[in-house]
């Protein structure tokens, strides 16, 4: 008697995010000796709010990090989008894979 085919594991449905919760930007200008990175991420805090964690510095270093606390995820997301706009105006671009 043939064995039944093994069942594939059931994965829970995945909700696609319309709004970014993380962003990785770089600014590379060899002529100006400028090799910078900027990371943004939203993290839940212990008090029911959301923190916007910003990390920046020269590529290859740990850089600096600041954590901004917000009352809810909507305010933190607004702050993330404002930071993204400001950094893109200053010449930062999305980090590409590879």
Which tokens belong to 45? 């805090």
- pLDDT at position 58: 97
Domains of the chain: 22-92 (2.20.140.10)
- pLDDT at position 98: 42
- Predicted TM-score (pTM) of the model is 0.75
Place of tokens 């990390």: 55
Structure confidence at residue 15 as a pLDDT band (50, 70, 90): low
- pLDDT at position 20: 77
Structure confidence at residue 13 as a pLDDT band (50, 70, 90): low
- pLDDT at position 54: 97
């Amino acid at each position: 008697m043939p064995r039944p085919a093994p069942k594939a594991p059931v994965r829970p449905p995945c909700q696609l995010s319309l709004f970014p919760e993380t962003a990785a930007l770089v600014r590379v200008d060899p002529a100006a000796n400028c090799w910078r990175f900027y990371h943004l991420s939203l993290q839940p805090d212990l008090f029911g709010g959301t923190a916007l964690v910003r990390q920046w510095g020269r590529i290859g270093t740990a850089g600096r990090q600041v954590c901004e606390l917000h009352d809810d995820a909507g305010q933190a997301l607004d702050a993330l989008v404002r930071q993204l706009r400001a950094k893109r105006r200053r010449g930062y671009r999305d980090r590409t894979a590879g």
